[in-house]
C-alpha cells in the first residue's frame, strides 16, 4: 500500500498476516466482517474481474487449478471499494483512485501459449491495415489495366488527345476510390464501430460458451458444498467461458470484417 493513505484505508496493526489466503466465498465473508455489513461474493468477484480487465490489479491464482486466491493486499483494496460504493461513488471513479492509494499487483509475463492469443486492439489495427492495403492494391491494379488499354487504343485510333483525356479522367475516378485521410470525427466513429463489433462478437461467443457449458454432464458443472449441498461451479463456468472466447475471438472478428 502507498504511504499516503490515511483513515479507514490505512494498514493497521491488528490486520491479519499477509500470507493468509482466501478463496472468493471466504474472502467475501472476511470483507463483510471487517466492514460490519454483508456483501455477496459475486459482487466482490465482479470488482476484481474489472480491475484485471482494466489492467489495474492482478489476482493471484492457485497454480494447479488456476483458481483465484486473495490475500491481505486484496482485502484492503476490497474494503476501500466497498466504503466508496457506500458513499455512492461509481466503480470507474473508484478504480481511478486505487493506484494512488495502493501498491497494485503487476500482471505476470505471458507464457508461450498465452502470447499466441492476439491482443484485441492489435487485431483490430491489423484488420484495418489489411483492408487499407487491399483497397490500395485493387486501385493500383485497375489503374495498370486502364494504362494497358490506353496503349492498345493508341495503336488502333488516330485521335490520341481524346484517348489521353479519357484515360486521365478514368485514372482520376479510380484514384478517388483510394481511401482518403479520415477526419477526427470519422476516426472516432470508426473506433466506436469497432467497439460495437467487438462487444457483439464477445456477446455471441459468451452465449455459445454458456450453451456448451450447460450441455456438459452434471458432475462437471456442479460441486459439492459442505456435506449434502450441491451447487453450480461458477468459477469453472467463468473459466470455461473465458477460454472459449479467447479461442474463437480472432476468427469471429475476421469474419465480421470479411477477411
Which of 78, 101, 124 marks a domain boundary?
101
| 152 falls within a domain | no
Which of 70, 85, 101 marks a domain boundary?
101
Please report, rounded to a whole number, the percentage of residues in the chain having pLDDT higher than 90: 37
Task: Tell me the pTM.
Answer: 0.40
| 128 falls within a domain | no
CA-to-CA distance for 9 and 77, rounded, in angstroms?
8
Q: 18-28, pLDDT tens digit by residue?
A: 468 999 999 99
Greatest mean pLDDT range, 86-100, 160-174, 228-242: 86-100
Residue 45's CATH number: 1.10.1660
Range of the domain at 194: 183-259
Task: Report the alpha-carbon angle 158-159-164, nearest 5.
Answer: 125
| 36 falls within a domain | yes
Over 90: is that where the pLDDT of 105 sits?
Answer: yes
| 252 falls within a domain | yes
pLDDT at 122: 59
| 58 falls within a domain | yes
pLDDT at 157: 60
Which of 72, 101, 130 marks a domain boundary?
101
Q: What is the number of domains present in the chain?
A: 2
| 259 falls within a domain | yes
| 151 falls within a domain | no
Is residue 69 within 8 Å of residue 49, measured between CB atoms? no
Query: pLDDT grade, residue 59 (50/70/90)?
Result: very high
Amino acid at each position: 500500500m502507498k504511504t499516503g493513505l490515511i483513515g479507514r484505508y490505512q494498514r493497521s496493526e491488528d490486520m491479519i498476516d499477509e500470507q493468509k489466503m482466501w478463496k472468493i466465498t471466504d474472502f467475501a465473508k472476511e470483507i463483510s466482517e471487517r466492514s460490519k455489513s454483508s456483501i455477496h461474493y459475486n459482487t466482490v468477484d465482479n470488482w476484481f474481474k474489472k480491475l484485471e480487465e482494466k489492467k489495474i490489479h492482478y489476482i493471484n491464482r492457485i497454480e494447479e487449478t488456476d483458481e483465484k486466491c486473495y490475500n491481505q493486499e486484496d482485502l484492503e483494496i476490497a474494503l476501500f471499494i466497498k466504503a466508496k460504493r457506500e458513499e455512492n461513488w461509481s466503480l470507474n471513479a473508484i478504480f481511478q483512485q486505487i493506484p494512488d492509494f495502493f501498491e497494485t499487483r503487476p500482471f505476470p509475463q505471458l507464457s508461450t501459449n498465452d502470447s499466441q492469443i492476439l491482443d484485441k486492439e492489435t487485431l483490430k489495427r491489423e484488420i484495418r491495415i489489411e483492408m487499407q492495403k487491399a483497397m490500395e492494391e485493387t486501385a493500383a491494379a485497375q489503374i495498370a489495366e486502364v494504362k494497358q488499354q490506353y496503349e492498345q487504343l493508341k495503336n488502333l485510333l488516330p485521335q490520341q488527345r481524346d484517348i489521353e483525356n479519357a484515360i486521365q479522367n478514368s485514372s482520376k475516378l479510380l484514384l478517388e476510390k483510394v481511401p482518403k485521410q479520415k477526419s477526427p470525427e470519422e476516426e472516432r466513429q470508426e473506433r466506436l464501430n469497432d467497439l460495437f463489433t467487438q462487444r457483439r462478437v464477445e456477446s455471441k461467443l459468451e452465449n455459445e460458451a454458456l450453451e456448451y457449458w450447460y450441455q456438459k454432464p452434471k458432475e462437471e458443472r456442479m460441486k459439492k458444498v459442505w456435506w449434502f449441498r450441491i451447487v453450480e461451479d461458477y468459477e469453472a463456468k467463468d473459466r470455461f467461458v473465458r477460454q472459449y472466447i479467447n479461442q474463437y475471438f480472432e476468427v469471429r472478428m475476421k469474419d465480421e470484417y470479411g477477411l
